[in-house]
């Protein structure tokens, strides 16, 4: 398989955190290994070991699972607000906005607040999600960008962490051109792959892009790079993200200002070690909960997805997931309200959350007393 950024076949395989399964960002466990590789020529990560899930009906049928998790909407609300504010800092007064991959309209709701005079429309392939967005009052087409036939043109076309899910990122970007007004902007936000984070671990994310990779793809699509910004590190919801700003023509940015990646060999080693730490985490957690009467997993979000998939022996020990003010199920585990849970001294709560949140959570549970607390942010930092 050729690299979809540079066209070479110079792959270095990345470790498989599990030999026969992987997990998607929607929480669906797939009976295929992760199957990702690092391009030695340009540094992009691509899923090379298996098909792209976008070639199936995964997004139409199974991606709505992401939005069904306990507490998802309230947990993500600050992030969607921060994304909308970031977009507004770039294009303060669009009249017509199209969001590509709009889910249930949660970002559109925030966009409507920062652009109260604009007319918003959305595209969403998942049938359940697009209907939910329409029920919320938004004009949403069910389908993908290349299926969207309209005579409308937009001052702003926006997608938030969508391009890494596509099967052809150049075609995805090129599809924006036919829908933009003459002076419109296309804004694409996506993870900054100079940082080694959990975005490497999802089998529905086909690519991890360095800033240079995005610039190469945009030029291949025939679009002008107006700017490429890196999100402020102090804003939690958009940390480790980058924003590509494109137009049909005009003066492009000075490309020497595009943030540079570290040496590609060094970057590969960081990525390899990161995934290897996840591969090793199962046995570590099993050792840390050994002898506990009851094992509880705090959290029901994407890090708990990862633990359930890549730490199966640990997950088999979990009796329930704890989430503040929530109930329901996560995979095969019940969700209990963490605020009313009373654990015993021989119970253990394992933090199934992003590593950066674990120090504060550990302090909370230690202050409350009762059960022991296990954190694992010593090796996995993001």
Question: Tens digits of per-residue pLDDT, 170-220?
Answer: 999 999 999 999 999 999 999 999 999 999 999 999 999 999 999 999 999
**Are 286 and 346 within one domain?**
yes
pLDDT tens sequence for the chain (382 residues)? 999 999 999 999 999 999 999 999 999 999 999 999 999 999 999 999 999 999 999 999 888 877 777 678 887 889 999 999 999 999 989 999 999 999 999 999 999 999 999 999 999 999 999 999 999 999 999 999 989 999 999 999 999 999 999 999 999 999 999 999 999 999 999 999 999 999 999 999 999 999 999 999 999 999 999 999 999 988 988 999 999 999 999 889 999 999 999 999 999 999 999 999 999 999 999 999 999 999 999 999 999 999 999 999 999 999 999 999 999 999 999 999 999 999 999 999 999 999 999 999 999 999 888 889 999 999 898 8
379 within domain boundaries: no
**Are 245 and 290 within one domain?**
no
**Are 288 and 253 within one domain?**
no
Q: How far apart are CA 109 and CA 301, in angstroms?
A: 22
271 within domain boundaries: no
pLDDT for 283 = 97
27 within domain boundaries: no
Cβ within 8 Å of residue 67, ≥6 positions away: 73, 103, 104, 129, 132
Cβ within 8 Å of residue 286, ≥6 positions away: 313, 314, 317
**Are 86 and 172 within one domain?**
yes
Q: Are 71 and 304 in contact (CB under 8 A)?
A: no
Q: Are 312 and 335 in contact (CB under 8 A)?
A: no
42 within domain boundaries: no
Q: How far apart are CA 156 and CA 176, in angstroms?
A: 10
**Are 199 and 303 within one domain?**
no
Query: Domain tally for the chain?
Result: 2
240 within domain boundaries: yes
pLDDT for 76 = 85
81 within domain boundaries: yes
Tell me, what CATH number does 358's domain have? Answer: 3.40.50
104 DSSP assignment: T
Q: Which domain holds residue 344?
A: 282-374
A 10 A CB-CB count for 263 gives 10
121 within domain boundaries: yes
**Are 183 and 229 within one domain?**
yes
pLDDT for 74 = 81
Tell me, what CATH number does 132's domain have? Answer: 3.40.50.150
119 within domain boundaries: yes
Total-model pTM: 0.94
**Are 294 and 157 within one domain?**
no
pLDDT for 25 = 94
pLDDT for 92 = 87
**Are 192 and 311 within one domain?**
no
Q: Are 169 and 138 in contact (CB under 8 A)?
A: no
């Amino acid at each position: 398989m050729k690299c979809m950024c540079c066209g070479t076949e110079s792959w270095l395989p990345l470790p498989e955190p599990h030999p026969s399964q992987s997990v998607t960002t929607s929480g669906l466990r797939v009976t295929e290994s992760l199957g990702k590789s690092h391009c030695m020529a340009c540094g992009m990560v691509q899923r090379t070991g298996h098909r792209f899930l976008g070639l199936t009906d995964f997004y139409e049928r199974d991606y709505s699972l992401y939005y069904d998790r306990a507490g998802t909407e309230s947990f993500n609300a600050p992030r969607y607000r921060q994304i909308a504010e970031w977009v507004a800092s770039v294009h303060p007064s669009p009249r017509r906005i199209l969001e590509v991959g709009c889910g249930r309209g949660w970002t559109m709701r925030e966009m409507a607040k920062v652009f109260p005079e604009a007319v918003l429309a959305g595209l969403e392939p998942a049938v359940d999600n697009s209907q939910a967005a329409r029920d919320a009052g938004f004009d949403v087409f069910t389908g993908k960008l290349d299926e969207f036939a309209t005579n409308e043109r937009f001052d702003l076309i926006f997608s938030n962490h969508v391009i890494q899910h596509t099967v052809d990122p150049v075609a995805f970007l090129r599809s924006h051109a036919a829908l933009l007004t003459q002076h419109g902007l296309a804004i694409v936000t996506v993870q900054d792959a100079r940082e080694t984070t959990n975005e490497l671990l999802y089998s529905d994310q086909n690519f991890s892009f360095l800033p240079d990779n995005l610039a190469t793809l945009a030029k291949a699509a025939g679009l002008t790079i107006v700017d490429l910004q890196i999100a402020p590190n102090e804003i939690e919801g958009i940390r480790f993200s980058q924003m590509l700003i494109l137009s049909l023509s005009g003066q492009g940015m000075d490309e020497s200002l595009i943030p540079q990646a570290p040496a590609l060999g060094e970057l590969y080693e960081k990525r390899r070690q990161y995934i290897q730490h996840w591969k090793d985490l199962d046995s570590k957690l099993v050792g840390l909960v050994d002898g506990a009467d009851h094992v509880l997993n705090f959290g029901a979000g994407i890090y708990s997805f990862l633990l359930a998939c890549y730490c199966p022996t640990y997950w088999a020990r979990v009796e329930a997931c704890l989430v503040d003010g929530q109930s329901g199920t996560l995979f095969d585990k019940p969700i209990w309200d963490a605020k009313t849970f009373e654990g015993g001294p021989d119970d253990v709560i394992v933090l199934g959350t992003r590593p950066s949140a674990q120090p504060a959570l550990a302090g909370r549970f230690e202050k409350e007393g009762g059960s022991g607390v296990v954190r694992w942010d010593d090796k996995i930092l993001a």
